[in-house]
Amino acid sequence: MTRYGNPRTVFQGGQSDLLNHVAQLSVLYEDLRLEMLEFRNLHARLVAEGGSDPDREYRTLYFVRRALATLVEFRSGRSEACRTREFKQGKERLSP
């Protein structure tokens, strides 16, 4: 589900460390989504054509590397978000 709102309001004008990390994770999630979409498209074209296209193979590998780098960055951002005071205070109210 997608929700829309004024970023300044939604993210409390940058005053919340937790929400700043959530904003970072949102951008990284979208990066990963786009990288994986392009990877899947390139891979499907390589398989469908049954041939070897070095340029497309290099682009495919590029998007695999970018997706992995984004995942590492996402993990780091998630870890930082979990270390914020706000997250620790609200953690007890989270469902399993």
> pTM for the full model?
0.79
Domain boundaries, the chain: 7-80
pLDDT per residue over 14-58, tens digit each?
Answer: 788 998 999 999 999 999 999 999 999 998 988 888 767 788 888
Query: In angstroms, rounded to a whole number, what is the distance separating the alpha carbons of residues 9 and 40?
Result: 36
Residues 56/45, Cβ–Cβ less than 8 Å: yes
Q: Which two tokens stand for residue 43?
A: 């891979």
Residue with tokens 């682009």: 59
* pLDDT for 1: 64
**For the chain, how long is the longest CA-to-CA vector?**
56
Please report, as a single letter, which amino acid is at residue 68. L
Query: In angstroms, rounded to a whole number, what is the distance separating the alpha carbons of residues 13 and 35?
Result: 29
